[in-house]
Every structure is written in structure tokens, then in C-alpha cells.
Structure 1
Amino acid sequence: MPETVLIVEDEFFIAMDLQLMLEGYGWRVMGPVGTVKDALLLLETELPSVALLDVNLGRELVTPVAEYLKAHDVPFAVATAYDRPEQYGGEVLAGVPNAGKPTDERRLMAALMQLTGR
């Protein structure tokens, strides 16, 4: 059974690119979703193996999703251009892997491997 990854990204084309990349590596993608509300609704039905979060989702921050994931022991990475995402999204984002934005395949897979230990 493939590992699952929740993608929370509000930019449609970036979200689709991430989904295609990850599916190409055998991941099962939850979402992608572009809002905190949609992410939390998905998480009510299933917990992923890992999650990939954009810090800034338009007019909201991904912080509530990160806090939910942390409370449920789901590892997550961010995909952001911010060098210190915790300055924007709070302490819950301190020290998490950052796949960057824009991200490339190598950096994305390195972040996810860091989360899964593969």
C-alpha cells in the first residue's frame, strides 16, 4: 500500500505539479486542498502518512493544519520561499523540512524522505 501525502497548496498549478510529481513516485495524494477548512475536513476522515504544506494560503495561514497534524503525530514539511516559516506561521513550523518554493523534484523528495526515514 502506498504512503499517503496530504497537499495543502492554494495555487492550483503548483498543487497539480506537486500531485503529479508525487504520484509519479508512487505516493497516494490526499487533496490537494487550498484552504485550512478543506484540509481539516479531509483530516477528519483520514490521517496521511505525511503532509506538505504551503505556509500562506491566500488570506490565511496554514498554522491550524500544522497544529492538528502535530497533535496527531503526522510529520509534515512546508513548501515555501520563507527562510524561517515559523516567523509567519508560528512555532509549530520551526525546524520542519522545507521543500522550497518553487520546489524541484530533488528537493521535494529529500524533504519527504526526511519525514519518512526512507
Structure 2
Amino acid sequence: MTGKLLDGCRVLIVEDELLIAMVLEENLEDAGATIVGMAGSLADALALIEREAFDAAVLDARLDDEPVTAVADALAAGAIPFVFHSGYGPEHLPAQHRHRPLLRKPSDPAAVVLALRDALG
């Protein structure tokens, strides 16, 4: 379906719903990506950003009802492209990141792959 559009791409998944994170992991790996880590909390996400090298990220808009502003800011500061994957609309995204791609849950797996590929340029 999506081929290997993300061959060689190292991706961080930031998602607090384990089942959704696992589906994202499987779909991204099927597209050729390597998942460097999955974070379900703000603290875990920030620690992985500090510790791991990766090319792109998929970021839920809220983790345990907390906005992900600090995570989005850290990714932007490191010039790491990312896409939001959320059940919330754009009004719930951090204002300074509303220009980033937003995929609404439930999303088509191919759409996530294509959005990441586009974000990578």
C-alpha cells in the first residue's frame, strides 16, 4: 500500500494510547521506518528527544490531558520535522505549531506515512 516511502528514516512516536502507538509503529515499519522509541508521557518524550537521534516524529496533541507544547518546541528547536496525530482539532495544537500537519484520529495509515515523508521534504 505505502511501499517503502520511509526507508532509512528513524522515527519517534509520542502517543499515550498504547494500542494507537503500536498500530503507528507497525504501519511506519511497514513503510521502511525504524522506530527509535515510543513515549507515552511528556517526561518520556523529552528524555527520548535528548537521548536518541532520529529524523522525524509523530506527536499526539495531548498526553494524559497535558498539552505537548514542550515536546513540539523541543522538536522544532532541534529542526526535527513532525506531524501531529490527534483526535483534537487544530485549535488544540500549540499556537506556534498550528502550521504543522495534523492527521485526525482515526487516520488512514497511508496518510501518516505520506505526511511524514512530506514533512521530511
| The two structures share one fold, judged by TM-score above 0.5 | yes
Deviation at 1:15, TM superposition (A): 0.3
Aligned to 1:20: 26
Q: SS where residue 99 of structure 1 aligns? A: strand
**Consecutive unaligned residues in structure 2, runs of 5 or more:** 1-6
Residue segments in structure 1 that go unaligned for 5+ positions in a row: none
Q: Does 1:99 align with 2:120?
A: no
User: Taking structure 2 as the reference length, what is the TM-score of the superposition?
Assistant: 0.87
Given the alignment of the two structures, is residue 81 of structure 1 paired with residue 97 of structure 2, yes or no? no
Asked which structure has the greater RCO (Cα within 8 Å, sep 6+), the reply is 2
Query: Over residues 28-75 of structure 1, what are the superposed CA-to-partner deviations in whole Å (9 max), with x where a residue is unaligned?
Result: 112211001001111111232011000011131111100001111111
SS at match of 2:58: strand
Answering whether residue 119 of structure 2 is matched by residue 115 of structure 1, we say: yes
2-side partners of 1:50 and 1:77: how far apart? 8
Q: How far apart, CA to CA, are the structure 2 residues paired with 1:99 and 1:89?
A: 12
Name the counterpart of 2:4.
none
Following superposition, the deviation at residue 114 of structure 1 comes to 1.3
Residue 61 of structure 1 corresponds to: 67
Structure 1 Cα separation of the partners of residues 96 and 40 of structure 2: 19
Q: Distance in 2 between matches of 1:89 and 1:105?
A: 21
Structure 2 distance, partners of 1:3, 1:113, is 9
Partner Cα distance (1:59, 1:82) in 2: 11
Q: Stretches of 4+ moved more than 3 A in 1? A: none
Aligned length: 115
Task: Out of 95-104 and 71-80, give the one that drifted further.
Answer: 95-104
CA contact (8 A) 1:100 1:107 kept: no
2:58 maps to amino acid: L
